[in-house]
Amino acid sequence: MEAHRGGDISVVTSYLTIAECVAIEAGQASVPLDVQEQFRRLLTSGQYVELLQQTPRTAQIAQNLRWRHGLVFGGPDALHFAAAIEASVSEFITTDERLTKSKVAAQLDALGAIGLRLVKGAATQCLPDRYRQGSMLNG
C-alpha cells in the first residue's frame, strides 16, 4: 500500500471488498467504532487502494468464468476475479486460505491461463525492491 501511495504501483480492489471487510477475526460480532472507521478510511480514501467500480461487463466476465472457461467459483469470488480481469491487473494478491485447497487450486491454474495470476503477498513480482522486507533469517 505504501508503494501505491508513492505512485510506484497501483493497488486495486473491487467495491465488494468494502462489504467483506467487517471484522478483524472470523466470527467477530462486535467491532470497535475506531476499527470500523479505520476500515472505511483505508478502503475508501483512495490513498492506499483504488476501488474498481463494478459494471454489467464485470458481471458478464464473472458469468463467463463458468460458461466459457468451466471455472466454478462462488459469486463474490467470481466478481473479485472478474473485476481484476476487467481492470487488466497483472497479479491478484490474496490471503484467502480457501483458495489454496486442492479443489480450487486447479481452477486457479486455469485462471492463470486466461491472464489472472493469483499470488500470496510475499510472492508478488510487481512490488519494487525498495518496498520489500527482507527475511529476519537471511543475514
Mean pLDDT value of segment 54-67 = 96
Provide CB contacts within 8 A for 66, sequence distance 6+.
72, 73, 78
pLDDT tens digit sequence for 42-60: 999 988 899 999 999 999 9
* 32 belongs to a structural domain: yes
pLDDT tens digit sequence for 11-28: 899 999 999 888 888 888
Taking the C-alpha atoms of residue 42 and residue 132, their distance in angstroms, rounded to an integer, is 21
pLDDT at res. 22: 85
* 35 belongs to a structural domain: yes
Domain span including residue 19: 1-53
pLDDT at res. 56: 96
pTM: 0.83
Provide CB contacts within 8 A for 31, sequence distance 6+.
22, 23, 24
pLDDT at res. 65: 95
Q: How many domains does the chain have?
A: 1
* 9 belongs to a structural domain: yes
* 3 belongs to a structural domain: yes
CA-based torsion, 18, 34, 96, 113: positive or negative:
positive
* 110 belongs to a structural domain: no
Q: Are 100 and 72 in contact (CB under 8 A)?
A: no
pLDDT at res. 29: 85
pLDDT at res. 50: 92
pLDDT tens digit sequence for 82-138: 999 999 998 998 888 777 676 777 788 888 888 898 888 778 888 888 888 766 555
pLDDT at res. 97: 78
* 8 belongs to a structural domain: yes
pLDDT at residue 63 is higher than 90: yes
Q: Are 111 and 118 in contact (CB under 8 A)?
A: yes
* 117 belongs to a structural domain: no
pLDDT at residue 139 is higher than 60: no
Phi, psi of 48 (to 5 degrees): -110, -25
* 76 belongs to a structural domain: no
